[in-house]
Amino acid sequence: MAKGVKDFVVDLVGEFVGEVILSVLACALLAGLVLAAYLSWSFSPRLTLAGAALLSLFLAHGAWTTSRGPAKGGRRAVTAVAAAGFTLTAGVAFFLLFYATDCGCL
């Protein structure tokens, strides 16, 4: 019985530590993104908007190629990079959605 209680406590503490680490990582990532946006805006608002527009087009292309299937033709590398960029961005967004909501900064 004592072994079962010990295993339960170890699992409970492990899950708590894991949640704390993921929350701290999410808050640090969110702070880094906000800092990058702030520094970019303070450097040049026009370039920030132009970069955001280009990034949005790139991610939209990645979302479109991800939803329609594999590419045919000569631009497979560009579509693969766009699809990977969209997938990575979506993964980071979901990670921040689940773990950064506990940040005190929001």
Q: Would 9 be classed as within a structural domain?
A: yes
Question: Does the residue 36 lie in any domain?
Answer: yes
Contact 100, 30 (CB under 8 A): yes
Looking at the chain, the whole-number percentage of residues with pLDDT higher than 70 is 90
Task: Please check whether residue 23 lies inside any domain of the structure.
Answer: yes
Mean pLDDT, the chain, rounded, equals 84
Tell me, yes or no, whether 106 lies in a domain: no
Q: Which range (4-18, 27-41, 70-84) has the least confidence? A: 70-84
Q: Say what the pLDDT of residue 88 is.
A: 92
29-45 tens-digit pLDDT: 888 888 999 999 999 99
> What mean pLDDT do residues 59-78 have?
79
Per-residue pLDDT averaged across 91-106, rounded? Answer: 78
Of 76, 100, 85, residue with least CA distance to 24: 100
Report CA-CA distances (Å) from 35 to 3, 62, 101, 106: 48, 25, 18, 14
Q: Is residue 39 part of a domain?
A: yes
Q: Which residue has the higher pLDDT, 100 or 74?
A: 100
The number of distinct structural domains making up the chain is 1
The parent domain of residue 52 ranges over 2-101
